[in-house]
Copies of this chain bind each other. A is one copy, B any other.
Amino acid sequence: MKIILDAFGGDNAPVETIKGAAMAVAEYGVKMILTGDEQEIRCVAGEQGVPLDGIELVHAPQVIPVCAEPTSIMKEYADSSLAVGLRLLAEGEGDAFVTAGSSGALVVGASLMVKRIKGIKRAAFAPTIPCVGGSGNYMLMDSGANVECRPEMLMQFGVMGSAYMNKIMGIERPRVGLINVGVEESKGGELQLAAYKLLQKAPVNFVGNVEPRELPFGACDVAVCDGFSGNIVLKLTEGVASAFTKQIKGVFMKNLGTKLAAAAVKGGMSEFKKQMDYTEHGGAALLGTARPTIKAHGSSNAKAFKNAIRQAKLFAEQDVIGEIELGLAELKQRGQELEV
């Protein structure tokens, strides 16, 4: 198993990417390819005392800035660590790819270089979000790759998310829900009304519309929506949790009594914090591309990269893409009814 890592993606590259890669080699026995400025990687690894055993370096002289036009990955930044990593993945030099770099460039580069799974309209970001109840996590798809979506795309998100949650999380018949403003079939705009009908007939365990209030309580295993709505769900969940934490901290810091109280609940709180911590959960799968790709959080540290690499390994090992293809084949068989 060989995982390709963009050594220059994210706020803390390349120190944390290199460390994360070395940790993954030691812990999971994977082989790694790191893409980026070879000399700098060797220099940083030396400085930090990180061994490069089991790590192959492939030189890439450029770094694509996060704010760059995503399509620039195909021309202006064709020699960036992100582009080179995707090219290696497309050529079969590695089994999966991880980056914490530009999301937009990743979607464009992966769609054009690695290509999409045959029949898939669009690739989409699919992070798993901690929740209370259910399996403790739900997959949100799309969380921002496609700001505007057609109903067929939402149906395919359901099929892909279902395959992933089944193979990676071991959930037998993942409950697929459509994010909507009400539970009744008649709710939502044109997109939701049409997607509801398609999902009903798709080879997934469709549980109908799910209201955003119920998402944090694990109302479904795969929550399907357009990328604009999904981005709201992702970022607002982060924001509310973070604001809440800040308020609770304020309550605990008030006086000596409350500070002692903080000490008493420290164990439970840190367990709870661990559950909410993105560094524990790897990254967001980019589902729909022909080979496994993981987008790690931009502010990932070594541990987060290590976990994203583990996730990429599972993604390849469990043949999620083969499972998606099975779903698509079944979808095709039902094609005449579906009128897609």
Other-chain contact of A232, B212, B244, B248, B271 (Cβ < 8 Å) = B212
CB-CB under 8 A from A246, the residues of chain B are 132
Within 188-203 of A, Cβ neighbours of B (below 8 Å) are at 188-190
The smallest C-beta distance from A292 to any residue of chain B, in angstroms, reads 25
Complex: A67 Cα to B212 Cα, angstroms: 19
B239 touches A265 (CB 8 A): no
CB-based nearest B residue for A188: B147
CB-CB under 8 A from A257, the residues of chain B are 264
The smallest C-beta distance from A298 to any residue of chain B, in angstroms, reads 13
Within 101-156 of A, Cβ neighbours of B (below 8 Å) are at 131-132, 144, 147-148
A236 within 8 A of B: yes
A212 touches B189 (CB 8 A): no
The smallest C-beta distance from A31 to any residue of chain B, in angstroms, reads 36
Chain A 206-231 interface mask (CB, 8 Å, partner B; 1/0): 00000111111100000000011101
A235 touches B212 (CB 8 A): yes
B229 touches A212 (CB 8 A): no
Top 8 A-B residue pairs of the complex, sorted by shortest distance between their CB atoms: A251-B268, A261-B261, A216-B243, A261-B264, A212-B236, A213-B239, A240-B240, A213-B235
User: Chain A interface (Cβ within 8 Å of chain B)?
Assistant: 67, 131-132, 144, 147-148, 179, 181, 184, 188-190, 211-217, 227-229, 231-233, 235-244, 246-248, 250-252, 254, 257-258, 260-262, 264-265, 268-269, 271-272
In the complex, given contacts A232-B233, A254-B268, what are 17 additional A-B residue pairs having Cβ atoms less than 8 angstroms apart?
Answer: A67-B184, A132-B246, A181-B231, A212-B239, A213-B235, A215-B239, A216-B242, A229-B232, A232-B232, A233-B236, A237-B240, A244-B244, A248-B272, A252-B268, A254-B265, A257-B264, A261-B264
